């Protein structure tokens, strides 16, 4: 899973507003081949087909819900936890600076798993 730290749509940087349906919050490449998930800031989730274009080196992404939601994204790994994504989505140009979410970032990995907890973990 990649958390979107900076999102630029058609050369306009979009702030991370929770009501924004255009700005991406998370981009997840599923463990099984060919499926990705795009989550907007408003929480809408769009499942997509994702295929590697070996000729250009980018991903071809097409939404399962609406085939007009499509594009091609190129990725550049800037370091071990950051990836820049650049390309097109729904006919618009996009650029994102992302941070890869590591296993240690998830609550279950932080607190450990116990069959019996003396105190519930309430969010």
Q: Which residue range(s) make up the domain with 9? A: 2-104
When divided into structural domains, the chain yields a total of: 1
pLDDT at 15: 92
- Tell me whether residue 112 is in a domain: no
- Tell me whether residue 57 is in a domain: yes
pTM of the model: 0.76
More confident residue, 105 or 24: 24
- Tell me whether residue 114 is in a domain: no
Supply φ then ψ for residue 103, to 5 degrees.
Answer: -55, -40
- Tell me whether residue 64 is in a domain: yes
Residues 26 and 1 sit within 8 Å (Cβ to Cβ): yes
pLDDT at 31: 67
Residues forming beta bridges with residue 72, ordered by sequence position: 60, 88
pLDDT at 106: 67
- Tell me whether residue 49 is in a domain: yes
Instruction: Summarize pLDDT for 42-75 with one digit per residue, the tens.
Output: 999 989 999 888 888 888 899 888 877 888 999 8
Residues 59 and 52 sit within 8 Å (Cβ to Cβ): yes
Element (H, E) at 35: strand 35-40
């Amino acid at each position: 899973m990649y958390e979107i730290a900076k999102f630029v749509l058609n050369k306009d940087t979009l702030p991370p507003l929770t009501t924004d349906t255009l700005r991406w919050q998370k981009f997840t490449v599923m463990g099984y081949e060919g499926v990705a998930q795009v989550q907007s800031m408003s929480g809408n989730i769009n499942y997509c087909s994702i295929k590697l274009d070996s000729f250009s080196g980018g991903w071809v992404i097409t939404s399962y819900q609406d085939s007009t939601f499509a594009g091609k994204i190129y990725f550049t790994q800037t370091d071990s936890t950051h990836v820049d994504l650049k390309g097109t989505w729904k006919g618009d140009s996009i650029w994102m600076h992302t941070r890869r979410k590591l296993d240690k970032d998830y609550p279950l990995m932080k607190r450990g798993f116990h069959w019996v907890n003396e105190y519930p973990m309430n969010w």
